[in-house]
Amino acid sequence: MTSARKATCAAIAGLLLALPHSTPANADTDPEALFNALNAVFGEKQGKRAAHTHGFCVKGAFTPTDEAGKLSKAPHLAGKGPWPVVGRFSMGGGNPAAPNTQKDNTRGIALHFDLGGGNQTDMVLISAPVFAAKSPEKFLELLQTVATKDKAKIEAFFKANPESTRQKAWLTARPVPASYATTSYFGVHTFTLTNAEGQSQIIKWKLVPKGGEVGLTEDEAKAKAPDFYKPELTERLAKGSAEFELTAILGQPGDAEDDPTALWPEDRKSVTMGTLTISALEDDATCDANIFDPTNVPDGIAGPKGDAVFWIRSPVYAISFSRRNQ
């Protein structure tokens, strides 16, 4: 799939909305139904994203390792770099005031890699290695159930779909991150990397803070302002850049490729693919004018054909972009 973006994001959103809502995984769920269900849970927010609403924009660069080019011929992995990056840190969900102290909520990072010549590729990661539902149908059912605010119905959903409890269990077993710069981020979807020799390898992405993971005690979290991440990162970046190591976790035969709620074994080997350097905050308008679309990948990277959650992201994001710009 090409990473070329020779039109504006608004034009891309229009094209996506005009296309039939089918994917390689043949998802039956209407993307607009998912968008509406998100709004039913969190409320419709004029001019804002339907999901990962609370966040801010940053900028930096990515420099690949020599090992990266051995796994993929993608330009930003096989080339020397550094490649300019625009990113967005965010809290999960659609609450524009989601508190940074909330333990059972994901933190997210979305990235645009500028490949030159008007070309870009995107990456979307969260602070848990699994998604909340294994299919668009189950995600829609989850949102519609939560929207009822009926405790018995919500409990019944999770009892019938235990895979949807894994994300919350992962998050609540760990402390509240002290900063967007001190937590790891995971790709919940599987990708296939292909190198110049045609050799392929399934992987999952992981972004690890070079300074190590740092969390807050319960007392420290209680003492924090609900929106402390942005001033914390502003102060941190005034002293120097925040660096992350991008790694590719190497899958093996039998590892789930099409289920974003499935955990891979912890003993899987990984390869360091490069360094992401966050150097400064960026005007939020830069991120708001774009779609961070994980299906936008260059030659040398391919998404999971059978993962319907992955493929429905693009049209849902296009709907969200279109609505917030009306």
Looking at the annotation, which residues are catalytic? 52
Query: How many distinct helices (H) and strands (E) make up the chain?
Result: 11, 12
Answer yes or no: are the C-beta atoms of 276 and 207 closer than 8 Å: yes
**DSSP class of 196:** T
Residues 6+ apart with CB under 8 A from 159: none
Q: Which of 163, 207, 167 is nearest to 184 (CA)?
A: 207
Return d(Cα 203, Cα 194) in angstroms, integer: 11
Answer yes or no: are the C-beta atoms of 86 and 282 closer than 8 Å: yes
DSSP state letters, 235-293 = HHHHHS-EEEEEEEEEP-TTS-SS-TTPPPPTT--EEEEEEEEEEEE--HHHHHTS---
Return d(Cα 63, Cα 148) in angstroms, integer: 46
